Amino acid sequence: MDKPAVRDAALLLLRLVLGTVFIAHGWDKAFLTGLTETTGQFSAWGVPQPKLSAYLVMASELVGGALLVVGLLTTFVAATLALLMLAAVWFVHLSEGFFVVDGGVEYPLVIIIALLMIVVFGPGRASLDGVLSRG
């Protein structure tokens, strides 16, 4: 299993899944739930500057998710999204317990660790970063 092709395929799959999850959450904030409702939720949770935070989170999820999918600026994006998720743990999930069904830290912790795997191991060769670095 310790072959470059297997590692690259695993990193590609991880990037595709994580990127899609972030795009879906950003899309929800922008177009389904809406930024007005998201701002209200952020305000209720005590997130600083809830309107600005809602816009920044939505944009970070959409753009960051897309960059993860294609593998561009991957380690920087993964680290930034991990910090974003850490803020979500602090402001939202920490007080709700552990399990995701209760809104707890279970889901964001898994996402943070998955993002850290990309930070540590990089995007893999099946990425724009991988292609550009070979040139």
Domain assignment present for 114: yes
CA-CA distance, 109 to 99, in Å (whole number)?
11
Per-residue pLDDT tens digits for 84-132? 999 999 999 988 889 988 888 999 999 999 999 999 999 999 999 999 9
Give the per-residue pLDDT at 37.
97
CA-CA distance, 118 to 131, in Å (whole number)?
16
Give the per-residue pLDDT at 100.
82
Whether residue 135 has pLDDT greater than 80: no
* Average per-residue pLDDT for the chain: 95
Find the domain containing 59 and state its range.
Answer: 4-127
Domain assignment present for 43: yes
Domain assignment present for 135: no
CA-CA distance, 123 to 10, in Å (whole number)?
10
Q: How confident is the model at residue 81 (pLDDT cuts 50, 70, 90)?
A: very high
Domain assignment present for 21: yes
Domain assignment present for 134: no
Q: Which residue, 85, 83, 103, 87, is CA-closest to 21?
A: 85
Average the pLDDT over 13-42 and give the result: 97
Number of domains in the chain: 1
Domain assignment present for 73: yes
Cβ-based burial of 68 (10 A; exposed 0-12, middle 13-18, buried ≥19): buried
- The pTM (predicted TM-score) of the whole model is 0.94
Give the per-residue pLDDT at 96.
86
Place of tokens 């299993």: 1
